[in-house]
Amino acid sequence: MKILIVSRYKSAFADHLVPFVTEQGESLRQLGHTVEYFAVKGNYLLAVRELKQKIRAFQPDIIHAHYGLSAITAELQSMVPVVTTFHNGETLNKGVNLLTSLFSLRAKHVVYVAQHIYDLVYFKHTKYSIIPCGVNMEDCVVMNQKVAREQLGFENGVKYILFGGGFDNLRKNYALLRDAVERIEQQVWIPVEGGERCGDIVCLEMKGLSRAECVLRMNACNLFALPSHSEGSPQALKEAMACNSPVIATDMADVKHLLGELPGHYILRNPRPTHERWDADEHSLDEMVELLKQALAFNGRTNGRERIIEMGLSNEQVAKRLESIYENVLV
pLDDT tens per residue, range 240-286: 999 999 999 999 889 999 999 999 999 998 755 555 555 556 668 89
More confident position, 327 or 229: 327
Question: Is the model's pTM score more than 0.85?
Answer: yes
pLDDT tens per residue, range 61-105: 999 999 999 999 999 999 999 999 999 878 888 999 999 999 999
Please report the pLDDT score of residue 299 as a whole number: 87
Please report the pLDDT score of residue 41 as a whole number: 85
CB 35 within 8 A of CB 93: no
Q: How many CB atoms lie within 10 A of CB 229?
A: 17
Q: What is the rounded CA–CA span in Å between residue 206 and residue 286?
A: 25
Mean pLDDT of 283-305: 93
Please report the pLDDT score of residue 92 as a whole number: 80
CB 247 within 8 A of CB 304: yes
Please report the pLDDT score of residue 272 as a whole number: 58
pLDDT tens per residue, range 216-248: 999 999 999 999 888 888 999 999 999 999 999
pLDDT at 13 over 60: no
Domains within the chain, CATH numbers bracketed: 2-134+314-330 (3.40.50.2000), 145-310 (3.40.50.2000)
Q: What is the rounded CA–CA span in Å between residue 329 and residue 83?
A: 8
Please report the pLDDT score of residue 18 as a whole number: 86
Please report the pLDDT score of residue 275 as a whole number: 53
pLDDT tens per residue, range 134-193: 999 999 999 999 999 999 999 999 999 999 999 999 889 999 999 999 999 999 999 999
3-state secondary structure the chain: CEEEEEEEECCCCCCCECHHHHHHHHHHHHCCCEEEEEEECCCCCCHHHHHHHHHHHHCCCEEEEECHHHHHHHHCCCCCCEEEEECCHHHCCHHHHHHHHHHHHHCCEEEECCHHHHHHCCCCCCCEEECCCCECCCCCCCCCHHHHHHHHCCCCCCEEEEECCCCCCHHHCHHHHHHHHHHHHCCCEEEECCEEEECCEEEEECCCCCHHHHHHHHHHCCEEEECCCCCCCCHHHHHHHHCCCCEEEECCCCHHHHHCCCCCEEEECCCCCCCCCCCCCHHHHHHHHHHHHHHHHHCCCCCHHHHHHHCCCEHHHHHHHHHHHHHHHHC
Please report the pLDDT score of residue 277 as a whole number: 54
